[in-house]
Amino acid sequence: MIPILGIILGLVIGIIIPFTLPGGYSIYIAVAILAVVDSVLGASVASMRGMFDIKLFLTGFFGNLLIALALSFIGEQLSIPLYYAALFAFGNRLFSNFGVLRRLLIDKYSKKHNPNVKTN
């Protein structure tokens, strides 16, 4: 739950403090945001399953971010939209992680509030 609170706090800070970047960085920012949100949702799923490891999270977070930014940069230099690969991969994983997280939360709260459901 802490990663989700971090995202909310980041959004609030981003709204309060006015900061703009040049339009040329929009692809990099979009890919970076997807990589970060994917890592945070993946960490949330791992935490709910009791398998969270800070080393895996940090290496995945920075590794995904660097690979996505490198693909975007190289693609821009070659005039090939390689950032689509990162957008597709992170978008797919984002929806997948969200689906798993949703199921875990529904299972957790439906068992907690329904006395007829047996828990192991």
Q: Which regions in the chain score pLDDT beneath 50? A: none
pTM over 0.85: no
What is the model's pLDDT at position 21?
79
What is the model's pLDDT at position 73?
92
What is the model's pLDDT at position 46?
92
List Cβ neighbours of 110 (8 Å cut-off, separation of 6 or more).
Answer: 117
- The per-residue pLDDT for range 42-55, each reduced to its tens digit, is 998 998 899 999 99
**Domain ranges, ordered by start, for the chain:** 2-12+26-113
Tell me which residue of 16, 67, 62, 17 sits closest to 39, measured CA to CA. Answer: 62
What is the model's pLDDT at position 115?
59
What is the model's pLDDT at position 78?
92
Alpha helices in the chain (DSSP H): 2-16, 26-48, 54-78, 83-113
40, 3 contact by CB (below 8 A): yes
